[in-house]
Amino acid sequence: MDKTGVIYILTNPSFPEYVKIGYADDIDKRLQQLNRSECVPFAFRVYATYEVSSRLSDLKIHSIIDKLNPNLRSIENFNGKQRVREFYAMSPEDAYSILEAIAEIHGCADKLKRIAMDEAQKQAEEIAQEIDAEHKERQSPFRFSMCNIQPGEEIEYCNNPEIKCTVVDDKTVSYQGQSYSLSSLAQLLTGSKYSVAGPRYFKYKGASLTLLGSLFSCRASCKRARTAAFYARTRFYLNSGLVQISSGRNGLECPQSLAAPGFPAFDEAARNDLLQPRICQ
């Protein structure tokens, strides 16, 4: 019998859309090897392991995934040669469910282990999400008009609801007699040395501006897509306050008080048909 090793699922905040699935005789040594590189901003972490007795077990897993969806594998051509990687464009939860199914079929569910994040890993993931949010904000700057927030209305600082500022125009607020962008005011209030994603630090009627921006962006995407069922479902949840918008790997809920203006109410039949919350992506 071959030496026992593990099939692993690794994640990295540097590229949250991908997981790495491979085999290692010693997962700790493999992790050290991967994390020696200075080319990746954040370290890999072990999401799950599945104990096996064959070195080729990971190739069988790769084969299964490739047959299910060949487009998930990271493949590129470099200097005329094809490079096939162990990275897959899927969530760690989906990768885990594949291993879970295999483990259950073989009666080896006890060999499968999900590894909890430690505090350092949680902090790294939060930093990566912050960087991603700032990048998206630069690509598509937040505007108050996109959320139907009018000049003269007040927003509050998330870390201290007593701190309020007044919307001046589409991109500017007034605080203590001075005009600021959301990012510059957030940087002032947090004392950060670096630029921050302003909308993440402010709320309007109890909901973060980031969430509201996501809600209305979702509505616009539904309109552009002209997908009637998907648009109707989104419209219903916007009205009912049951909306969930994906943010990284976490769902954020819109409070009941923030039904979106401009959407007609659904009748009871439509509401009953759409009671199960869905994640709008």
CA distances in angstroms from 174 to 147, 171, 182, 207, listed in the order given: 18, 11, 10, 20
pLDDT (0 to 100) of residue 198: 86
Note whether 148 and 261 are within 8 A (CB). Answer: yes
* 178-205 pLDDT tens trace: 999 998 999 899 988 767 778 888 999 8
pLDDT (0 to 100) of residue 232: 47
* 58-97 pLDDT tens trace: 677 888 777 767 777 877 777 778 777 889 999 999 999 9
Highest mean pLDDT among 52-61, 137-146, 160-169: 160-169
Interatomic CA distance for residues 240 and 277, integer angstroms: 11
Average pLDDT rounded to a whole number, residues 100-114: 89
DSSP 201: G
Task: Take residue 13 and report the two structure tokens written for it.
Answer: 């905040």
pLDDT (0 to 100) of residue 173: 96
pLDDT tops 60 at residue 159: yes
pLDDT tops 80 at residue 207: yes
pLDDT (0 to 100) of residue 57: 67
For residue 120, what pLDDT band results from cuts at 50, 70 and 90? confident
For residue 218, what pLDDT band results from cuts at 50, 70 and 90? low
Stated as kind and residue range, the H or E segment containing 120 is: helix 119-139
- Burial class from Cβ neighbours inside 10 Å (0-12, 13-18, 19+) for residue 193 reads exposed
Interatomic CA distance for residues 117 and 28, integer angstroms: 15
Query: 13-27, 134-148, 201-215, 258-272: which has the minimum mean pLDDT?
Result: 258-272
Measured over the CA atoms of residue 197, residue 200, residue 203 and residue 209, the dihedral's sign is: positive
For residue 29, what pLDDT band results from cuts at 50, 70 and 90? very high
- The residue behind tokens 């008009």 is 145
pLDDT (0 to 100) of residue 138: 56
Measured over the CA atoms of residue 154, residue 149, residue 239 and residue 230, the dihedral's sign is: negative
Average pLDDT rounded to a whole number, residues 144-169: 92
Q: pTM surpassing 0.95?
A: no
pLDDT (0 to 100) of residue 70: 73
Q: 48 φ, ψ to 5°?
A: -160, 155
Alpha-helix runs per DSSP H in 176-280: 182-190, 209-225, 228-240, 268-273
pLDDT (0 to 100) of residue 202: 93
**What is the average pLDDT value for the chain, to the nearest integer?**
75
pLDDT tops 70 at residue 9: yes
Q: Calculate the CA dihedral of residues 29, 33, 35, 39 and round it to 10 degrees.
A: -170
pLDDT tops 90 at residue 112: yes
Average pLDDT rounded to a whole number, residues 164-181: 94
